[in-house]
Structure 1
Amino acid sequence: MSAPTIDELTAPDLESLLPLLDRLTENVGSVVLGKPEVIRLVLVALLAEGHLLIEDVPGVGKTLLARALAASIDCSFRRVQFTPDLLPSDILGSSVYNSGTGEFVFKPGPLFANVILADEINRTTPRTQSALLEAMGDRQVSVEGKSYPLEPPFLVLATQNPYEFEGTYVLPESQLDRFMMRIRMGYPIPSEERHILTSHRGGEPVEDLRPVLSREEVLRLQHASRAVRVDDAIADYLMEIVHATRDSEDLNVGVSTRGALTLYRAAQGFALVQGRSFVVPDDIKAMSLPVLAHRVVGKSFLQAGEFNASEAIIRDLVDRIRVPA
């Protein structure tokens, strides 16, 4: 079945897409227990063609979440463990001399996959972190003057430990801006944590996951996400929030145009995950914190990484703006 065009997402199209989302949600949720909101945000990032930064203390399931999503779709997956000695060529690839032909041949690095797990991204140096910028922004890699496109879908799921942990490097604003959303996992509730203890007795359940979506189905969902309708009043509401961050007395740096576009696309993806072909104000509200909080710099803190302070400011701005009827 052909994908709908960008300007149409009909009821039959939507009805055929929802079972795909249900299968994916159920498969990931079978191993990532008690985190329906987090799983929903991961699906939004996938549908909206964005990248996700998951920040939390070690051991709460950040890597498990990324592995579960990768195992649930029939696409290539690579995991890169970021360490202080990791070099840009270790993830991008490099040219290798072929003695048989007498020529240099490009050998792609692990970044040439559909789903990338950048594990503990803030444990490597800024030089290596910046090697991801072009890939995440333009879906291509440039090595030694030549550009190599990255096949869609392309999704970077990065995990990082809190900045106060030893051996971490602060992600620069330009790197943070490439992530569609920044979220936390949080600790599971006691009943779910008890279930985790028993379910892991025989090994890692994620090892038994099988793909429930093909690459073509993922691309179809992404195409449908862009076809979700956004009324002019909703777009104006979004822009009011964006401009409020720029005019806020509590912020030195507001949301950029890229940030506004990212919020627009995230709201489309969230609406589709909710089973709708149109965006409502609550979609904008729901996406404002995870999409915007890491893109602003407040006057009372020096880094965009100060999660709690930036979230509080964004939440206050959103609450003060009139919701369109």
Structure 2
Amino acid sequence: MVKAFSALKDYLDSQVLGQHALTEGILLALLANGHLLVEGPPGLAKTRAVNALAHGVEGRFHRIQFTPDLLPADLTGTDIYRPETGQFEFQAGPLFHHIILADEINRAPAKVQSALLEAMAEKQITVGRKTYALPELFLVMATQNPLEQEGTYPLPEAQLDRFLLHLKVDYPDAATELAILRLTRGEALSHEKAKLSPISQADIFAARQDILKLHMAESLENYIVQLVMATRNAAAYSEQLAKWIAYGASPRASIALERCARAKAWLEGRDFVTPDDIQAVFFNVLRHRLILTYDAEAQGLSTDDVLREILKLVPVA
């Protein structure tokens, strides 16, 4: 089964050149049953990446373009009155698909973004007095432009916490950009897409169960907990660290760190988790869950700088 996902990874890498962290993050989110937030300037193949995933996974795909005039009902659906029956009938919105691309999510105001809260956390939506279950396979990949760009809104903290991973993508180097030129030219000439046998939903669910059965030593479980506790009780590790963190990570961070470390080990063909697996996913899992103090921002520190310090301070079990 690992071979099928390795083939999917190779396919994603062939379609999205030079963004190995992005393609791996997409697979980790799929295998760890979580959602993905990708941040970067326009034109870096964020949308292309999720389109490639939809091509390689069995399921329904839908893209939602977030704009300032979007309404919550445009995502969840709404009750429509049918004059012929004299009754209201629920018209399902685009969230009732398996893979959702929330494109440029931070170009819509908070009231629209918050419509995703229940869907992402509980895989259900509530309209009026009724609650509707979403598909068992439900993955939201949201793209976000840097907050420095015009027309963007910061995501609510409650929604950020529901994303399993927060990836940052940057511009490719010269050699990769040359390969991108040749890839797009070849696609335009041939009008053909690379072929891949889609992975069934049954295989995805089976892989998730296998991942949960991987061996993780108790010492590594404690290591995960201590890493997260260092964001909440920073003074126990360093006075300087305590001055940088206003609010730490929630228990969702511990769960996400364990799930992603397991998924990474599984993708690499191992049946056990190592400290390197935890550290490899640490930044992407915690990056969006910390709120820094004004003191840290005044010093020009990023959340990655703070997380790097936490890795130095917390000993590997």
What TM-score do you get using the length of structure 2 for normalisation?
0.91
Structure number with higher relative contact order (C-alpha < 8 Å, ≥ 6 residues apart): 1
**Identity fraction in percent:** 39
Specify which of 157, 164, 173 is matched with residue 173 of structure 1: 157
Specify which of 53, 67, 75 is matched with residue 69 of structure 1: 53
Q: 1:58·1:161 contact (CA, 8 Å) conserved in 2?
A: yes
Query: Offset of 1:234 from its aligned partner?
Result: 0.4
* 2:20 aligned partner, one-letter code: P
Partner of 1:297: 291
Call closer, same or farther: CA 1:176–1:302 in 2, change over 3 Å: farther
1:263 aligns with 2:257: yes
- Residue aligned with 1:200, SS: helix
Query: Offset of 1:145 from its aligned partner?
Result: 1.4
- Residue aligned with 2:141, SS: strand
Call closer, same or farther: CA 1:78–1:126 in 2, change over 3 Å: same
Query: Offset of 1:103 from its aligned partner?
Result: 1.4
Which stretches in structure 1 are left out of the alignment for 5+ residues?
1-16
1:93 aligns with 2:77: yes
Partner of 2:273: 279
Q: 1:72·1:210 contact (CA, 8 Å) conserved in 2?
A: yes
| Distance in 2 separating the partners of 1:321 and 1:146 | 46
Q: Deviation string for 1:223-276 (max 9, x for gaps)? A: 222222221110011111111111221211111112211211111111112221
What do you get for the CA RMSD once the two structures are aligned?
Answer: 2.0
Which segments of structure 1 move beyond 4 Å, counting only runs of 4 or more? 204-211
| Distance in 2 separating the partners of 1:114 and 1:43 | 15
1:318 aligns with 2:311: yes
What TM-score do you get using the length of structure 1 for normalisation?
0.89
Call closer, same or farther: CA 1:309–1:206 in 2, change over 3 Å: farther
| Distance in 2 separating the partners of 1:308 and 1:42 | 27
What is the correspondence of 1:22-101 to structure 2 with a 5 Å cutoff?
22-101=6-85
Query: Offset of 1:302 from its aligned partner?
Result: 8.8
* 1:176 aligned partner, one-letter code: L
Call closer, same or farther: CA 1:167–1:207 in 2, change over 3 Å: farther
| Distance in 2 separating the partners of 1:285 and 1:172 | 26
Specify which of 210, 221, 240 is matched with residue 226 of structure 2: 240
- Residue aligned with 2:15, SS: coil
Query: Offset of 1:219 from its aligned partner?
Result: 1.6
* 1:129 aligned partner, one-letter code: Q
Residue range with higher mean Cα deviation, 69-78 or 130-139: 69-78
Q: Deviation string for 1:88-140 (max 9, x for gaps)? A: 00010011122332211111100001100000000001000000000000010
| Distance in 2 separating the partners of 1:79 and 1:251 | 36
